[in-house]
Structure 1
Amino acid sequence: MYIINGKKIASDILHDIRRTIVERNVTPGLAIILIGNDPSSEIYVKRKIHTADKAGITPHLYRFKATDSQDDIIECIDFLNNDSDIHGIIVQLPLPGHLNPDTLIQRIRPDKDADGFHPENIKHLGDPSFPQPVTVMSVVECLQNVLNTSPLRQLADSPYKGKGDVSPLQRRKDVPLSAAIMCKSDILFIPLATLLSRQNIKADHFTELNKKCVQYDILIIALGKPHILTKEYTKKDAIIIDVGISRIEHNGTTAIKGDADIESLKKHAGAITPVPGGVGPVTVALLLKNTMNNCLNITKP
């Protein structure tokens, strides 16, 4: 089984970001709005700050109490929208129950959107001159890695080269692949299915794990249920992109688990993203890439 190394993919993206920042002599700024003290959010924000520093992007953290009002957050976003030192803005999710994430995300200036969630940017899905949705694009980057392609379906240098027609990766480019996307909402499914369809990959949506998934060449799972995906639901040599993250407490320690059970799948699946070390690092790198691109677009003559 081929392990899709998200840390290596992210490292390559960050290298390009650093090089571009030096070449263009710019200083991108990323504003992170953190509300409350959710332990997972604290870890993710710390990671984003550390990675931004390494990439040459200046991070700015804005903290709010879990009880602060939506108007307080909106006032901060409006300030950041007009701050010339800020080129990317994110609101760390999840939010306290009294806050509306859609309202806050849509308040961010589209050209300062770092997560790529703003509806105006979703209209330009796949156009690199606009901020792109980072979770969606991290899945695409991981698929590009395993298919060793740009665009996705150029299979000549695939890690499966020479292993016959058993793997879905060995299909001719004119033969479509199939993908099952398992997630609760359309937020991930619709843009991801749109991008995959442009690469001759037909995607279907499942809100839960389903026995029908065994028919698909590619499984993309984001259910947040640790180790729910086993070989019984998986086609031989399938590609698995694991977007699920669960924090498991046991005997005073915390472990990060994905939705896929690698032990069950290691002699069955063709390729998989590990958790941690798969989609997560790529998502952070792409968030920083959006921030850098926003800076270049905002500051260009």
Structure 2
Amino acid sequence: MAVILDGRVLSEKIRGELKEEVEYLKEKFGRAPTLAVVLVGNDPASEIYVRNKIKACQKVGINSLDKKLPETITQEELNRVVKELNDNKDVDGIIVQLPLPKHLSCREVINYISPEKDVDGFHPLNAGKCMLGLYDEGLMPCTPAGVMKFFEEYGIELQGKNAVMVGHSNIVGKPLANMLLNANATVSVCHVYTQDLAFYTKKADILCVATGVPHLIKAEMVKDGAVVIDIGISRLNGKIVGDVDFEAVKEKASAITPVPGGVGPMTITMLLYNTVKAFKMRHGI
């Protein structure tokens, strides 16, 4: 039976540490770190995500600035809002909730956010620092950074291990593959065009999956004793499930993240972590 890598427990531990740090920073600098959250339109899922992020900020003492913009906003107007936040000395982190309405360019908005305030870690400058392993000099993407915290917390060795990343998105797959590579794992990256996916997954000591395809990874595709990190999330028959057939795979894996309750809680926690980090970097700490 696998060890369950509990994201809720680890998240609470890190948030407790952040709360103490925020109290110290507020006392030393006269204000707490501040996160600006920009929401365009009325997408119900996005509204829930934003509400959860703001609530998480409140719990650790981070100030939040909620910017709700109409769905009809133009690219130029949205860029202007981002520029105002870039120029605001009391704002340390900026996120623009994705996805955006179809007439707006996600790439343009991401590029417009100041790299020093890009707490999602999506800006090309931060992506480059992630690839080069310059973690102290930039802001790392939240979900991959949260996965790396699991390895650190549970003492999971990466050096010399065969790691397989299934999924190659700019937000999760590519940065996490680079992080694993920088930790001296031997990394294979698979995706929807990979032929014979099981050929790769069966060799993985560390298997990370982020595709959004429910139960893509079956027990017969997993090596005995592998560490399995399920980053996908979907709704199947009214239930929230991951990319891994959890009930079957947990019998073969040495450690596994559940869905929900695994990687998900760590994503928002690392957003809080990055906001505090951005504040400290701006103050030369």
Which residue number corresponds to residue 22 of structure 2? 21
Which residue number corresponds to residue 226 of structure 1? 214
1:55 equivalent among 42, 60, 64: 60
Task: Please give the alpha-carbon distance, in whole angstroms, between the structure 2 residues aligned to 1:296 and 1:143.
Answer: 25
The one-character-per-residue Cα deviations of 1:222-254 (angstroms, maximum 9, x if unpaired) are 11012221102111111111111113464xxxx
The one-character-per-residue Cα deviations of 1:31-84 (angstroms, maximum 9, x if unpaired) are 111122223222221111111100110111111233322122111101111112
Amino acid at match of 1:211: A
Unaligned 5+ runs, structure 2: none
Which residue number corresponds to residue 287 of structure 1? 271
1:119 equivalent among 108, 120, 124: 124
Matched, 1:243 2:231: yes
Which residue number corresponds to residue 3 of structure 1? 4
Task: Please give the alpha-carbon distance, in whole angstroms, between the structure 1 residues aligned to 2:24 and 2:103.
Answer: 44
Which residue number corresponds to residue 92 of structure 2? 87
Amino acid at match of 1:239: V
Amino acid at match of 1:20: E
- Is 1:4–1:145's contact at 8 Å kept on the other side of the alignment? no
Amino acid at match of 1:75: R
Matched, 1:257 2:241: yes
TM-score (norm 2): 0.89
Residue identity over aligned pairs, in percent, reads: 36
Considering fraction of residues, name the structure with more helix: 2
Secondary structure of 1:123's match? helix
Task: Please give the alpha-carbon distance, in whole angstroms, between the structure 1 residues aligned to 2:250 and 2:266.
Answer: 22
Matched, 1:101 2:106: yes
User: What's the CA shift for 1:186?
Assistant: 5.0
Task: Please give the alpha-carbon distance, in whole angstroms, between the structure 2 residues aligned to 1:72 and 1:268.
Answer: 52
CA spacing shift, 1:41–1:248, aligned 2, 3 Å = farther
Secondary structure of 1:289's match? helix
Task: Please give the alpha-carbon distance, in whole angstroms, between the structure 1 residues aligned to 2:203 and 2:281.
Answer: 43
Task: Please give the alpha-carbon distance, in whole angstroms, between the structure 2 residues aligned to 1:33 and 1:186.
Answer: 21
Amino acid at match of 2:179: L
User: What's the CA shift for 1:144?
Assistant: 2.2
User: What's the CA shift for 1:130?
Assistant: 2.0
CA spacing shift, 1:137–1:8, aligned 2, 3 Å = same
Question: Aligned pairs, how many?
Answer: 273
Matched, 1:299 2:283: yes
CA spacing shift, 1:117–1:88, aligned 2, 3 Å = same
Secondary structure of 1:90's match? strand
Task: Please give the alpha-carbon distance, in whole angstroms, between the structure 1 residues aligned to 2:237 and 2:48.
Answer: 15
TM-score (norm 1): 0.84
The one-character-per-residue Cα deviations of 1:2-48 (angstroms, maximum 9, x if unpaired) are 11011122112212211111222241111111122223222221111
CA spacing shift, 1:248–1:120, aligned 2, 3 Å = same
Matched, 1:69 2:74: yes
Task: Please give the alpha-carbon distance, in whole angstroms, between the structure 2 residues aligned to 1:105 and 1:49.
Answer: 20
Secondary structure of 1:68's match? coil
Amino acid at match of 1:214: K
Which residue number corresponds to residue 132 of structure 1? 140
Task: Please give the alpha-carbon distance, in whole angstroms, between the structure 1 residues aligned to 2:237 and 2:102.
Answer: 24
The one-character-per-residue Cα deviations of 1:261-281 (angstroms, maximum 9, x if unpaired) are 111212112111111111111
Secondary structure of 1:226's match? coil
Q: Output the aligned Cα RMSD.
A: 1.9
CA spacing shift, 1:231–1:249, aligned 2, 3 Å = closer
Amino acid at match of 1:279: V
